[in-house]
Amino acid sequence: MTMERSEEHEAPGNAEGTEPEYPRDVAAFVERFAADLNAAGLQRMPSRVFACLLASEDGALSSAQLAERLRISPAAVSGAVRYLSQVHMISRERLPGSRREQYRVDQDVWYRSFTNRDQMYRRWEQTLQSGIEAVGPTTMAAERLAETAAFMAFLEEQMAQLLDRWHAHRSVSGRPLESGSP
């Protein structure tokens, strides 16, 4: 189901004083994708907020719009957007001429997210190396830690190559990543 752009993004308090109707099929998709994200390990409320932003026309909504669409409290929105901002899945931006913020998901959110994850693998590998020294290099624990560190190094190497291939693919397909992307 598609909506006209003007209906999708009217601010709360429009002529009728309410948010436009949130389409049921979009709401159902948001809940399904949020459940998938939750099953993959993302917390429930951040999953719902992220899916809602992803499915919005401009990829940006205010806290009030998120609360209205998801039927959750402003406090729940606040906690979810704080978490999503910390893990670089969304960004905050001020609405022009207002003290209010809106939250945005970028087109290339997955590319950026996995680029950040690449740095996480490196950090984990370094921490695991220090763990090997802590438990003693000839112990069974050191063997497990070394295997985990080797796996993290492998993931880091493979992820870098995969992200490079994705970047090249997007450039060839005519949909390059947004400016400012790695």
Q: What is the pLDDT of residue 96?
A: 82
d(CA 124, CA 120): 6
Give the model's pLDDT for residue 17: 44
| pLDDT at position 177 | 56
What pLDDT is stored for residue 64 in this prediction?
95
Residue 98's Cβ-count burial label (10 Å; 0-12, 13-18, 19+) is exposed
pLDDT given at position 60 = 95
**Centroid of chain to Cα 177:** 16
Q: What pLDDT sits at residue 77?
A: 97
**pLDDT of res. 71:** 96
* pLDDT at position 20: 60
Separation CA 44–CA 121 (nearest Å): 24
Q: What are the pLDDT tens digits along the chain (182 aa)? A: 444 333 333 334 443 445 567 899 999 999 999 999 999 999 999 999 999 999 999 999 999 999 999 999 999 999 999 999 998 899 999 888 888 889 999 888 888 888 777 788 889 999 999 999 999 999 999 999 999 999 999 998 998 899 889 888 888 876 655 544 44
